[in-house]
Amino acid sequence: MRRQGRLISIVAKTNPPLDERSRSLQALDRSCGYRALAARLLGISRAAYYRHLADLKIEPENR
């Protein structure tokens, strides 16, 4: 049973929660792909948002 707990924690660390991903995508959609505005909508800095997108493996379209 202990082994199973380790596997779950490893999976949790490698796959971000769906809510986090969907919030990021929703912010990008609401801002029409304008990442600085999407960051503002989420209440984080633009640089933090870029890192966040990279962590989630989201590559927004260049506009």
Q: What residue ranges define each of the domains in the chain, with the CATH number in brackets?
A: 2-55 (1.10.10)
* Residue of 27, 29, 62, 10 whose CA lies nearest to 52: 27
Given this model, what pLDDT does residue 49 score?
94
Of residues 63 and 37, the one with the higher pLDDT is 37
pLDDT over 60 (residue 62)? no
DSSP labels for 9-36? HHHHHHS--HHHHHHHHHHHHHTTT-HH
d(CA 43, CA 30): 14
pLDDT (tens digit per residue) in 3-48: 544 544 444 555 556 688 899 999 999 999 999 999 999 999 999 9
* Residue of 30, 8, 36 whose CA lies nearest to 53: 36
CA dihedral 44, 17, 30, 58 (to 10 degrees): 90
Of residues 59 and 51, the one with the higher pLDDT is 51
Given this model, what pLDDT does residue 50 score?
94
The pTM (predicted TM-score) of the whole model is 0.65
